Chains A and B, each alone.
Chain A
Amino acid sequence: MQQSETDQGAPAVNHAPAGDQAGTAAIDVAHLVKVYKTTRAVDGISFRIARGSITGLLGGNGAGKTTTIAMIMGLVLPTSGSVEVLGAKIPDQRYDVLGRMNFESPYVDMPMRLTVRQNLTIFGRLYAVKHLRERIDRLAEDLDLKDFLDRSNGKLSAGQKTRVALAKALINEPDLLLLDEPTASLDPDTADWVRQHIETYRKTHNATILLASHNMLEVERLCDRVIIMKRGKIEDDDSPERIMARYNRDTLEEVFLDVARGRVREGAP
């Protein structure tokens, strides 16, 4: 697997202070509620995410992570509450900022019959990327896609598809990147490689990244801040170290199990 020099030299954990100063948030969510018929998928959550940070959104299945991300993207309308992204109100002003965002999710695929190059060309054109051919070549170099750039997406392995999806998510060099389970179903080597690339991208572009994941090691390694959700509510919100200290645990996985099983945290406010 290819790896850039900056990747190799990157520290494993980079924990900047959590929270944000007023007016500089990349994402500002206030009192957000989503009700599907009788189910409250998201139940009055509020948070602000600082520009240039990586925030992990944790929670079990049905915790409301994907619905929250979908509302931030404007793909799901909130029942009540508000979302602002890069200063634009979502969903009303989403077209003002969509060109500065991108996402990767296991709920979507790239067209299978098109080659990797064709897919990236189309998304590059949709995002009005300048010097698109050079941009695709650069992404192919960075993400190690060169060997299968002219192969159809349907003939790629899971790891290759994930790298292509990441290339699509980075095609416009987004200021805000939303990643839903970016390393799901990847072998440890590929997953580690993808994490390194995400980390490097954040550093080199001062991008804001919101990452929903079930992989606690991934979150520990990448994120400045962790928001733990349970049944649509925010259960905890702090840096990984402070959360682990509060629960008197050594790993986020243990914290996750405590939250999921309803164990009372020590030193909780």
Chain B
Amino acid sequence: MSEIVSHQHRGISLHRINAMVLRYWYLLLSSWPRLLELVYWPALQIITWGFLQNYISQTSGFFAQAGGTLIGAVILWDILFRGQLGFSISFLEEMWARNLGNLMMSPLKPIEFLLSLMIMSIIRLAIGVIPMTLLALFFFGFNFYAIGLPLIAFFCNLIFTSWSVGVFASGLVLRNGLGAESIVWTLMFAVMPLACIYYPVEVLPVWLQYVAWALPPTYVFEGMRALLIDRVFRADLMIWSLVINAVLFAASFAVFLALLRSAKRNGSLLSGGE
């Protein structure tokens, strides 16, 4: 071993994870359009949906009492969606930059790469969602942080789901090249109608309710409505969500590793094109 290189960690190296986070941090700081994009859509979303909630509240007794359910749902949906995008876009940056071969040939391990993408998804999420919550407070008097400790449970469950979907989507792009990029942008929308973001699960046909309850975010949105409408924190819902998330998370990792292996068999790691 060359004397200029430190002892190589056999396990997970925080040093290498830190290097990757630094790489994405440099990229964010070097590009104002990337920073603007993180804030732009969440801000538009909250303003549009906030005014809609104001209007509905004036015409519907239910929504007047259940203040904040729409805005709360919009913010939680953004945590789910932007969490996944934050993960996947950092991954796509490597594909766009044709840098994946350099990384795969370095001592960076797949698990370290994924962990760095998770950290970046939280950083990107914070840049986008914190201003969103401040806008909700300023324009509509909705204090997202007044949810209190349950917010931690909501956040953890949503971010775990977003990472699982992000890991899975990234694996597909790794295996199939940038031709599969659209999956990254659209996959979470498949969850949207079934996770019952803006309406209770009972609205769905009975057979579809079984599908909805198989998705971890459904428990979070139901839990949010229980908290905002009935003033009850449903810990049981959060535990169920966590259990399903654990299974989903493990499955997405296994699928990613299988797709990485398939990419190595297929020879697509160095090409990465369409």
Contacts and interface: CB of A to CB of B under 8 A. Distances in A.
A108 B100 contact: yes
Contacts of B108: 126
A234 to B, nearest CB: 20
B184 to A, nearest CB: 19
B97 A175 contact: no
Interface residues of A, number: 48
B104 A75 contact: yes
A107 B27 contact: no
A125 to B, nearest CB: 3
Interface residues of B, number: 44
Interface in B84-106: 93, 97-106
Contact of A77 (B4, B10, B20, B265): B265
B30 A113 contact: yes
Contacts of A110: 97, 99, 102
B186 interface: no
Interface stretch (B131-139, B165-173, B228-236, B266-274): B266-274
Contacts, number: 131
Interface stretch (A11-19, A45-53, A115-123, A184-192): A115-123
Nearest to B261: A77
B23 A101 contact: no
Contact of B271 (A107, A109, A125, A168): A107
Given A36-B266, A113-B30, A114-B26, A128 B5 contact: yes
B270 A107 contact: yes
A60 interface: no
A contact face: mostly helix, strand, loop, or mixed? mixed
Contact of B2 (A36, A105, A113, A174): A174
Interface string A92-116: 0001101111110101111111100
B143 to A, nearest CB: 37
B2 A67 contact: no
Given A36-B266, A95-B107, A99-B107, A75 B101 contact: yes
Interface of A: 34, 36, 41, 66-67, 70, 73-77, 91, 95-96, 98-103, 105, 107-114, 118, 121-123, 125-131, 135, 152, 168, 172-175, 205
9 closest pairs, A vs B, by CB? Answer: A125-B19, A108-B101, A173-B2, A128-B6, A109-B98, A126-B106, A111-B97, A99-B8, A107-B270
